[in-house]
Amino acid sequence: MLSAPTRVVVTGAAGFIGSHLCERLLLAGHEVVGIDSFSDYYERERKEQNLGVARAHDNFTLEETDLVEADLKRILNGATVVFHLAGQPGVRPSWGGHFDRYVHDNIVATQRLLESLRDTHVDRLVFASSSSVYGDAEMFPTKETALPRPVSPYGMTKLAAEHLTFVYMRNFGIPAISLRYFTVYGPRQRPDMAFCRFMEALVEEQEIEVFGDGEQTREFTYVSDAVDGTVKAASADVVGHIINLGGGSRVTVNRVLDTLEDISRIKVRRRQLPAAPGDPRHTGASINLAREKLGWEPRVSLREGLAKQWEWFLAMSPESPRVSRT
């Protein structure tokens, strides 16, 4: 683990995973500089709420800026570790006219950060990649050595940013590690992500839209487990490695809905839709490398994690009095 106290930078600090990471680092005694552009992909209010705990801490500083335009030399000065979580998320919106935003936020922003790190020494750059780089993977569970075959523009931009990171490592010695997150969930999950959409439909007594037959599988990773692995990657002997962080088992979307029905005590009504372009049929992580190199193990089961997210969602939705909070 990182020795405290030290100065760290977290890009994407107001986001779902980034805000949890900031809190974990502050709790460990570190000085945290958060960077976030507060893009309009979803409401600023939710991101401000994400940062509530961090902003109340004396060791937290927020830089509201776009990485492409930021004075990164000043911001990075004195930092020992950079956690690069900023980026434009979303598989389905990455098609069509929004693609330039994905290039700007995922590729160009990463390149600007890497350029700044050429002249600023840090002990570690931890890059947040995605299981979307695998696409329809050739094996399950998928090892880090599997050939990446992204099936969405989003996955392609994350893979490009990952390649850029290692290009700069090989040429300029930036001590980088890439973590491929597998479908992270939990409190503060983005409103466009599946679990949040499912829960919103439940409390509003609406049908839940299921793309495809619901038998597609995903590797779901609880946010505290993802943060644990991310922090461990900052100090473990893993420079130059790509490491999967996954929840430990694959689960069908239908199984998720059954579990959520049981937790919420609300009957799920499904509405089947055609499978969405860019959605892989299955994802599943081999986490043996994370176990070996990071000493990391996912600890939160899907049922436990869903229950925690449901409680958080209800706390954020007080206008739904009919829903049991027990």
In a domain, 124, yes or no: yes
Which residue type occupies 292?
Answer: E
Statement: residue 325 has pLDDT above 60? no
Token output for 103:
């290039």
- Cα separation, 1 vs 304, whole angstroms: 26
- Cα separation, 116 vs 113, whole angstroms: 5
| CA dihedral sign, ordered 250, 157, 184, 262 | negative
The number of CA neighbours under 13 Å toward the Cβ of 108 is 12
Its pTM stands at 0.95
- Confidence at 320, pLDDT banded by 50, 70, 90: low
Mean pLDDT over residues 210-235, rounded?
95
In a domain, 293, yes or no: yes
Are 41 and 88 in contact by the 8 Å Cβ rule? The answer is: yes
In a domain, 103, yes or no: yes
> Which residues participate in catalysis according to the annotation?
154
Statement: residue 187 has pLDDT above 80? yes
CATH of the domain at 58: 3.40.50.720
Torsion angle of the four alpha carbons 251, 254, 283, 169, in this order, in degrees rounded to the nearest 10:
-90
In a domain, 289, yes or no: yes
Give Cα 252 distance to the centre of its chain. 20
User: Range of 46's domain?
Assistant: 7-185+223-247+285-299
Convert the pLDDT of each residue in 263-306 to its tens digit.
Answer: 999 999 999 999 888 788 888 999 999 999 999 999 999 999 99
Q: At residue 67, what are phi and psi to the nearest 5 degrees?
A: -55, -30
Convert the pLDDT of each residue in 58-105 to its tens digit.
Answer: 999 999 999 999 999 999 999 999 999 999 998 888 999 889 999 999
DSSP per residue over 154-215, as a string? HHHHHHHHHHHHHHHHHHH---EEEEEE--EESTT--TTSHHHHHHHHHHTT-PEEEETTS-
* Percent of the chain whose pLDDT exceeds 90: 85
User: Of residues 243 and 249, which shows the higher confidence score?
Assistant: 243
pLDDT at 38: 96
In a domain, 13, yes or no: yes
Mean pLDDT over residues 216-223, rounded?
94
The count of other CB atoms within 10 Å of the CB of residue 297 is 12
pLDDT at 142: 95
Lowest-confidence pick of 32-46, 226-240, 307-321: 307-321
- Confidence at 112, pLDDT banded by 50, 70, 90: very high
Mean pLDDT over residues 106-129, rounded?
97
Q: How many domains does the chain have?
A: 1
Token output for 123:
């002990």
Q: What DSSP designation does 237 have?
A: S
Is the N-terminal amide bond of 191 cis, ω within 30° of 0? no
Query: Token match 């973590």: residue?
Result: 179
250-252 vs 124-130, strand pairing mode: unpaired
Contacts of 326 (CB under 8 A, 6+ apart): none
- Confidence at 318, pLDDT banded by 50, 70, 90: low
Closest CA to 83 of 115, 42, 113: 113
In a domain, 215, yes or no: no
- Cα separation, 178 vs 234, whole angstroms: 11
Convert the pLDDT of each residue in 126-167 to its tens digit.
Answer: 999 999 999 988 888 999 999 999 999 999 999 999 999 999
pLDDT at 93: 87
Are 95 and 157 in contact by the 8 Å Cβ rule? The answer is: no
Burial of 46 (0-12, 13-18, 19+ CB in 10 A): middle
pLDDT at 1: 65
Token output for 310:
């449901």
- Confidence at 5, pLDDT banded by 50, 70, 90: confident
- Cα separation, 110 vs 96, whole angstroms: 22
Mean pLDDT over residues 155-181, rounded?
98
Query: Token match 């050595």: residue?
Result: 145
Statement: residue 322 has pLDDT above 60? no
Statement: residue 177 has pLDDT above 70? yes
Separation in Å, CA 306 to CA 13, 194, 319: 23, 12, 21
User: Of residues 144 and 324, which shows the higher confidence score?
Assistant: 144
Helix (H) or strand (E) holding 276: none
Statement: residue 321 has pLDDT above 80? no
